[in-house]
Amino acid sequence: MNTPEPAKNHTNTEEIIKKLPKLEQHIHIVGSTKPETLLGIIEDNGVEMPFKNLDDVKKFFQYGDFPHFLNVYSTVNDCITEPKYYERITYEMLESEAACNVKHVEAIFSANDHVRRGLDYDEMLDAINKGIRRAKRKWGITCTIRIDLVRNYGPEVAAKELGWIKKKGDNIVAVDLGGSENGFPPEPYEKVYKKASDLGLRLVAHAGEDAGPESIWGAIKTLNVERIGHGVTAIKDPTLLKEIKSRGITIEACPTSNLRIGAVKSMKEHPIRGFIKQGIRVSVNSDDPPMFNTDINNEYIQLHRELGFTVDELMGISLDSVETSFLPEKRKNELRETFLREHRELKRG
Ligand code: ADE
Ligand code: ZN
Give the lowest-confidence range in 10-24, 90-104, 238-252, 279-293: 10-24
213: burial class by Cβ within 10 Å (0-12, 13-18, 19+)? buried
Query: Dihedrals φ, ψ of 231, to 5°?
Result: 65, 15
| DSSP assignments along 58-96, one per residue | HHHT--SSHHHHHHHHHHHHHH--STHHHHHHHHHHHHH
- Establish whether residue 109 lines the binding site of ligand 1, counting it when its CB lies within 6 angstroms of any ligand atom: no
What does the pLDDT read at residue 9? 38
In a domain, 2, yes or no: no
**Mutational test site, ligand 1, from 24, 26, 27, 28, max ligand atoms within 8 Å of CB:** 28
Catalytic residue at 156?
Answer: no
In a domain, 6, yes or no: no
In a domain, 343, yes or no: yes
Answer whether residue 162 shows pLDDT above 90. Answer: yes
Answer whether residue 6 shows pLDDT above 90. Answer: no
- Establish whether residue 179 lines the binding site of ligand 1, counting it when its CB lies within 6 angstroms of any ligand atom: yes
265: burial class by Cβ within 10 Å (0-12, 13-18, 19+)? exposed
- Establish whether residue 73 lines the binding site of ligand 1, counting it when its CB lies within 6 angstroms of any ligand atom: yes
Q: How does the average pLDDT of the chain come out, rounded?
A: 96
In a domain, 4, yes or no: no
Percent of all residues in the chain with a pLDDT value above 90, rounded to a whole number:
97
Cα(241) to centroid of ligand 2, in Å?
21
pLDDT digits (tens, 9 = 90+) for 232-246: 999 999 999 999 999
Answer whether residue 252 shows pLDDT above 70. Answer: yes
Confidence of residue 349 (pLDDT cuts 50, 70, 90): confident
Distance from C-alpha of 184 to C-alpha of 152, rounded to nearest angstrom: 6
pLDDT digits (tens, 9 = 90+) for 261-281: 999 999 999 999 999 999 999
Compute the Cα dihedral for 211, 214, 217, 223 and give only its sign. negative
pLDDT digits (tens, 9 = 90+) for 30-47: 999 999 999 999 999 999
For 52, the domain range is 13-348
In a domain, 154, yes or no: yes
In a domain, 1, yes or no: no
Report CA-CA distances (Å) from 15 to 248, 339, 346: 32, 17, 10
Closest ligand (CA of 74): 1
- Give me the number of domains the chain comprises: 1
- Establish whether residue 176 lines the binding site of ligand 1, counting it when its CB lies within 6 angstroms of any ligand atom: no
Distance from C-alpha of 272 to C-alpha of 78, rounded to nearest angstrom: 34
Q: Smallest Cα–Cα separation from 225: which of 202, 199, 203?
A: 203
Answer whether residue 79 shows pLDDT above 90. Answer: yes
Answer whether residue 3 shows pLDDT above 50. Answer: no
What does the pLDDT read at residue 11? 60
Answer whether residue 170 shows pLDDT above 90. Answer: yes
Candidates 209, 252, 299, 342; catalytic one? 209
Yes or no: say if 91 and 135 are a contact pair by the CB < 8 Å rule: yes
Closest ligand (CA of 292): 1
Answer whether residue 209 shows pLDDT above 70. Answer: yes
- Establish whether residue 255 lines the binding site of ligand 1, counting it when its CB lies within 6 angstroms of any ligand atom: no
In a domain, 5, yes or no: no
In a domain, 301, yes or no: yes
Cα(110) to centroid of ligand 1, in Å?
10
CATH number at residue 51: 3.20.20.140
Distance from C-alpha of 177 to C-alpha of 110, rounded to nearest angstrom: 9
Secondary structure class of 266 (helix, strand, coil): coil
